[in-house]
Amino acid sequence: MFPQADTHVRSLSRDSRKNYGSEALLDIRSSVRDGVSEGYIAFDLSSFSGSATNARLRFHASLEKPGMAVLLVRSAVSTNWNEKSLTWWEAIPHTVTLGRAEVTGGSPAWYEIDVTQFINQQLGPKARWINFAMVYGSESPNRVLVGSRESKGFEPQLILSRGPFRAKVQFLPRDSVPAEGYLPENGTKFAAKEGGFSYGWNQDMTAHVRDRMSTNNTAQQKKLAAARRAPTRVHETFSYVDHEKLKVKAFWEIAVPNGRYTVRVIAGDLVAKDSVYAMNVEDRQVFDFIPEDTKRWADGTVTVEVKDGRLTLTDHPNGSKNKVCSIEISEATN
């Protein structure tokens, strides 16, 4: 992917209030005479789901004069910034060195830095605008010139690879702990969440999630829960999909790359059996199940195709007081 923004800033007093966001080259320098010049590059990862198996920052660089210079790529911390107004006075803080490139000779060449660990650390609900800083490795009169996004054909690139999409989500209250390996769904609206995933409901469902092992249950519910044993932690929690207090029909979604998916859904309640469990994933019905004392949970698997970038779980018309415990999603590899 190409940058959302890039620019450089200069410390020298006559240049410190200038903006260079329209320049075709990021000018990186560090010398007593010419001051310090730093470059910044930002990428928007909001469309990327899951974690990266490999991530590389690729850029086209050269030296002003023949020789060798060390260019450091560092992690930069900032909210969205404007490449057309940024100056040295708003310079972006940078913290950890992610890699270094030895820029040699006078001819331009492509360089790559492995940033996989950094990208996976940053993916999450509050960090989808990923920033890099480029700084000189030591003092030198030479300058490193890096192609910017205005340099057509020589723009910086963030090259991302990922394995097959996998996600396991458990529906439970905010103060409850999910089973190991499961993402928590607390009834919140669709948004970017932990682990680089984006998922959630079409409305606020926080009042409709339950944990039958929580102290928030009634005395009778606690007694029933204590007398029974759920197969796993996943079976102890749920969210209503269909509830009499809902004014708008509820549905749940997760952002996924378009393709074919195998989806497992578990529905049920450790305490009550006053429901009919019938749900759809995309346009496929997963199950149509009436719970009994000896079989309280529905467990079904379907294969579906996603064409709009979101896998959707909905209530089926046959359902009544539908409750979903978990959903497991695996991208088909053939």
Q: Do 33 and 152 belong together in one domain?
A: yes
pTM of the model: 0.67
Last residue of a domain, one of 122, 138, 161: 161
What SS3 class is residue 35?
strand
Provide the pLDDT for residue 78.
78
Range of the domain at 199: 166-331
27 forms beta bridges with 145
Provide the pLDDT for residue 125.
53
Q: Do 100 and 44 belong together in one domain?
A: yes
How far apart are the C-alpha atoms of 47 and 117, rounded to whole Å? 19
Tell me, what CATH number does 273's domain have? 2.60.120.430
Last residue of a domain, one of 117, 145, 161: 161
Q: Do 45 and 97 belong together in one domain?
A: yes
The beta-strand segments (E) located in 79-207 are 94-104, 109-114, 129-136, 140-147, 157-161, 166-171, 183-185, 191-192, 198-201
Q: Do 58 and 143 belong together in one domain?
A: yes
Residues of the chain with pLDDT under 70: 49-50, 124-127, 215, 225-227
The per-residue DSSP string of 172-228 comes to --TTSPPPTT-EEE-SPBSEE-GGG-EEEESS--GGGEEETTSTTS-HHHHHHHHHS
Q: Do 171 and 316 belong together in one domain?
A: yes
Q: Do 311 and 228 belong together in one domain?
A: yes
The beta-strand segments (E) located in 35-156 are 35-44, 54-63, 68-76, 94-104, 109-114, 129-136, 140-147
Q: Do 36 and 115 belong together in one domain?
A: yes
Last residue of a domain, one of 104, 127, 161: 161
Provide the pLDDT for residue 261.
96
- Rg of the chain over Cα atoms, rounded to whole angstroms, equals 26
Provide the pLDDT for residue 124.
62
Provide the pLDDT for residue 126.
53
Could you read off the pLDDT of 46-94 as tens digits, one per residue?
777 667 889 999 999 999 888 889 999 999 987 778 999 999 999 999 9
Task: Provide the number of structural domains found in the chain.
Answer: 2
Q: Do 92 and 31 belong together in one domain?
A: yes
Place of tokens 């009778």: 220
| CA 111 to each of CA 100, 146, 285, 291, 322: distance values in angstroms, whole numbers, following the listed order | 10, 10, 50, 60, 54
The per-residue DSSP string of 217-233 comes to S-HHHHHHHHHS--SSG
Tell me, what CATH number does 97's domain have? 2.60.120
How far apart are the C-alpha atoms of 33 and 141, rounded to whole Å? 8
Q: Do 65 and 194 belong together in one domain?
A: no
Q: Do 80 and 130 belong together in one domain?
A: yes
Q: Do 92 and 240 belong together in one domain?
A: no
Provide the pLDDT for residue 172.
96
Q: Do 198 and 135 belong together in one domain?
A: no
